[in-house]
Amino acid sequence: MSDARTDGNGSPNAPPGTPSPTRAFLSRNLILVGLASLLTDMSSEMVYPILPLFLTATLGASPRVLGLIEGIVEATASLTRVMSGWISDVMGKRKPFAVGGYALSVLGKLSLYLAASWPLVLGGRVLDRFGKGIRTAPRDALLAESVPSDQRGRAFGFHKAMDTLGAVLGVICAYLLIRAGHSELRTVLVWSLAPAALAVVVLCFLRETGKGRHASSNRPRVRLSDAWHRAPSRLRLFYLIVFLFALGGSSNQFLLLRARGLGFSDADTILLYLVYNLTYLVFSYPAGKLSDRIGRAPLLIAGYFIYAVSYAGFALADHLPASGTSLWLLFALYGCYIGLTDGTEKALVSDMSPSDARATFLGLHATITALGLFPASLIAGWLYDSISPSSAFLFGSVCALVAGILAVVFLRRPTGRE
């Protein structure tokens, strides 16, 4: 009789080849995290596409205030991401951070429901993003540890597909509520609380992999203060490219403002956002699976250049023939970019990270991205308000173009895996 066992996550401890690849890929943890992400994003995307309209049209806030809110939100989240990853590695625990982070997001949405002015909206957004900062790195490390290393791209692609499916469902719900006459944000928020709370319940059934504890017992732990220096040199280089790219990656809410400024109604603006999410959904899983075969870098490079093209299109949208039709295509192109890069970036960081510090380096990646997004949203808000909407998007396009060129030069060599 075979002595093959599993670690409780559907991830095999048996010698290679014992379980089928499909079973190893669709582990218990991957399915549960995917379902929780679907529910949470369904909740979030019921609110996100109407939030900039609520801030500017209902509360009278300017694009600068929107940029300030998004910048502060990302800065707050950035302080927690690497810290939570490091603590997760030290404790050898992933589940408490995932459950707690998703629970805080529920409280953040409840705070938005109670908000009567934009500073209170800021408070709700900060609480929501603080929860995201706590959960992201430990959750991603749990995913990386729950599947074979040669299927990480596929696993992260599956997770992002589930995440984006939830976003699609959330946007559809928001659109239907708006079309039914429920334009008041608080009505949408009440409906959004149910899937967010259900996601927390789902995560209670996660199981620890135990790999963080096993790895840390055999190798020295990474001190948080030494995380940058402990990172492999190629990973540090990738972090710098990510930071440059993030400087041009202002909040998606500016895309929605751009559509509104070009004459789209509230309902049609939500439909544009739905097109973006549908494209994201279509590309996420195939891109992750393809990255396992051809490497992560080609997909990241393609995504960076697609981003540059799409942002240049948003900048010139009012000068394009049939600008209304062009905007539908631009939102689809933008969704293609994120589908190619979002899960692939995390898989690349997982590949290049030592196993005893995987959550730390995934957290550092998220922190560096957020640190870039903080000035990005402030710069975009200032350019949008003081110069022109086109200038905000041109700045983002140039940053993405330079980051793509640097990635071509420095990231073409395949990355080894554990």
* CATH at residue 198: 1.20.1250.20
- Read off the amino acid at residue 258: R
Q: Is the pLDDT of residue 300 over 80?
A: yes
- Is residue 296 a contact partner of residue 180, using CB atoms and an 8 Å limit? no
In whole angstroms, give the CA distance from residue 119 to residue 278.
32
Residue 152 φ/ψ, nearest 5 degrees: -65, -40
Mind listing the pLDDT tens digit for each residue in 384-405? 888 888 899 999 999 999 999 9
Is residue 330 in a domain? yes
Please name the residues in contact with 172: beta carbons below 8 A apart, sequence gap of 6 or more: 274
Helix (H, G, I), strand (E, B) or coil at 263: coil
Mind listing the pLDDT tens digit for each residue in 70-79? 777 766 766 6
The number of domains in the chain is 1
Within 13 Å and on the Cβ side, how many CA atoms surround 251?
Answer: 30
pTM recorded for the entire structure: 0.70
Is residue 328 in a domain? yes
Residue 182 lies in domain = 26-211+224-410
In whole angstroms, give the CA distance from residue 282 to residue 273.
14
Please name the residues in contact with 337: beta carbons below 8 A apart, sequence gap of 6 or more: 303, 304, 306, 307, 310
Is residue 372 in a domain? yes
- Is residue 291 a contact partner of residue 233, using CB atoms and an 8 Å limit? no
51-55, 211-215, 230-234: which is most confident: 230-234
Residue 227's pLDDT band, with cuts at 50, 70 and 90, is low
Residues in a beta bridge with 6: 12
User: Among candidates 273, 97, 263, 101, which has minimal Cα distance to 178?
Assistant: 273
Residue 15's pLDDT band, with cuts at 50, 70 and 90, is very low
Is residue 217 in a domain? no
Q: Is the pLDDT of residue 187 over 90?
A: no
| Helix boundaries (H) for 118-151 | 118-145
Is residue 19 in a domain? no
Return the structure tokens found at 187. Answer: 């009505």
Burial label, 256 (beta-carbon count in 10 A; 0-12, 13-18, 19+): buried
Q: Is the pLDDT of residue 112 over 70?
A: yes
In whole angstroms, give the CA distance from residue 294 to residue 126.
38
- Give the Cα-Cα-Cα angle 107, 251, 240 (nearest 5 degrees): 105
Least trusted range by pLDDT, from 173-177, 323-327, 339-343? 323-327
Is residue 216 in a domain? no
Residue 333's pLDDT band, with cuts at 50, 70 and 90, is very high
- Mean pLDDT taken over the chain: 79
C-alpha pair distances (Å), 215 with each of 28, 82, 236, 247: 21, 19, 22, 35
Residue 22's pLDDT band, with cuts at 50, 70 and 90, is very low
In whole angstroms, give the CA distance from residue 282 to residue 336.
8
Residue 122 φ/ψ, nearest 5 degrees: -60, -45
Return the structure tokens found at 259. Answer: 């559509």
- Is residue 276 a contact partner of residue 405, using CB atoms and an 8 Å limit? no
Mind listing the pLDDT tens digit for each residue in 253-281? 788 888 888 888 777 888 888 899 899 88
Is residue 13 in a domain? no
In whole angstroms, give the CA distance from residue 360 to residue 35.
24
Is residue 12 in a domain? no
Mind listing the pLDDT tens digit for each residue in 233-248? 888 899 999 999 998 8
